[in-house]
A = this chain, B = another copy of it.
Amino acid sequence: MTERNIHVQPASGLAVEDQDIEVVERKGIGHPDSICDGVAETVSRALAQTYIDRFGKVLHYNTDETQLVAGTAAPAYGGGEVLEPIYLLVVGRATKAYDGQRVPAESIALQAARDYLAEQFPHLDLGSDIIVDVQLGEGSGDLQTVFGEEGTVPMANDTSYGVGHAPLSETEQIVLQTERQLTGQYADENPVVGQDVKVMGKREGDHIDVTVAVAMVDEHVPDLAAYTDAVDRVRDFVSDLATEHTDRDVTVHVNTADDYDAESIYLTTTGTSAEQGDDGSVGRGNRANGLITPNRPMSMEATSGKNPVNHIGKIYNLLSTEIARSVAGEVDGIRQVQMRLLSQIGSPIDEPHIADATIVTDDGVAVGDVADDVRAAIDDELADVTDITRQVIDGDLTTF
């Protein structure tokens, strides 16, 4: 046990799972905001890896400002077309020369962005449907001084804040899994389902409404009947999925804005609303744990694209969530743990100014009974803070 300044305290209210009303949202990977998050984070990882390969350490950069300008499309049964390409501007700062060597930061960013889009969006034609542009400037020169060799614990260069919680509530699990599975294996097997899937869960007491908006892919929709069939199958799939996570009563709504009489339906050519009318940018959607949870404390931090070595906001948001998961997983009797980290400028980032765990225990368990175990679990995670950096670069931690 170190001297770290760790506090464990009881929560003053109910666990979210036990509150009357809960609202949870997740924007799928094909939502314009998430496209920006994904590109920003992929570019970040590519730059970090390049710096490590060439210099043995990550140099200064931040690529957390991608902007997407929607295109124009004319989806149609059986396959429509993109009329005006989506415009994606990757913005950020990077070290372009170090130790006498020049670094192809912009070329790497461009390649990483295009590769990511190619992998994630099978219905988006990279040759005609999207223009990827890059503007990476250089940052302030002295920012590099905060960086050490890989594995050493850097100093905090800002006062920043991270929050995380565990375990996920049932509604959160349903929302998260619905999007992951729909845009994952389900979309692989059912190419009619595009990548732009938006899920909102709203629980009132013991009733959960799951509202899903799915961008259907026109090439796989020959007519309205095929569309309604696809909608029905998504509804069934999500209903089944929900029962794996809750015994509560669940109602699933899919593409509720459709008007079949007017044949106004959610049809796309590319599987994302970025093709028509929906712009996007980094940090406007999901928080670092993949969810938007207005019932919980949230950080405004745009995590995706930030440098995982020295950006305290990114590290502490990811770490808070990791710590909360670890506590909830390792310590018995925890119904909910809410974690909060606040950095101290000039101190090593494994010694936060504040490390607070706010606990709701199971019935019959007192916070005092678990406090030492919780503190120990937190301490272990803080000691391994540089693991966060490594996992981010390896893509083992998602940021949106």
Contacts and interface: CB of A to CB of B under 8 A. Distances in A.
Interface of A: 11-14, 21, 23, 62, 64-65, 67, 69-72, 74, 81-85, 87, 89, 91-93, 96, 102-108, 110-111, 114-115, 125, 127-129, 131-135, 137-140, 142-143, 157, 159, 161, 163, 200, 202, 211, 256-257, 264, 276-277, 279-285, 287, 292, 294-295, 297-300, 302, 340, 342, 345, 354, 356
Contact of A69 (B91, B139, B140, B284): B91
Which 5 pairs from chain A and chain B are nearest by CB?
Answer: A12-B13, A111-B128, A67-B67, A139-B277, A83-B104
Given A93-B279, A294-B163, A298-B300, A110 B85 contact: yes
A128 B107 contact: yes
18 contacts: A11-B13, A12-B14, A65-B69, A65-B281, A70-B93, A72-B138, A74-B102, A82-B104, A89-B89, A91-B279, A108-B128, A111-B125, A138-B277, A143-B277, A159-B202, A285-B300, A292-B300, A295-B297
A35 B11 CA distance: 38
A276 B140 contact: yes
Contacts of A142: 264
Nearest to A36: B281
Nearest to A118: B127
A107 B85 contact: yes
A350 B111 CA distance: 48
A64 B279 CA distance: 9
Q: Could you say which of A11, A157, A294 has the most chain B C-beta atoms within 10 Å of its C-beta?
A: A294
A146 to B, nearest CB: 11
A110 B88 CA distance: 14
Contacts of A202: 159, 342
B277 A302 contact: no
A115 B126 CA distance: 11
Contacts of A139: 277
Contact of A137 (B72, B110, B281): B72
B131 A110 contact: yes
A110 B128 contact: yes
B132 A131 contact: yes
A169 to B, nearest CB: 16
Given A159-B202, A161-B294, 10 more contacts: A67-B281, A83-B105, A87-B133, A111-B128, A131-B133, A140-B277, A163-B294, A285-B300, A294-B298, A294-B340
Nearest to A132: B131
A257 B142 CA distance: 11
B102 A83 contact: yes
A65 B279 contact: yes
Contacts of A132: 131
B104 A23 contact: no
A212 B342 CA distance: 17
B65 A81 contact: no
A65 B84 CA distance: 18
A264 to B, nearest CB: 6
A115 B11 CA distance: 49
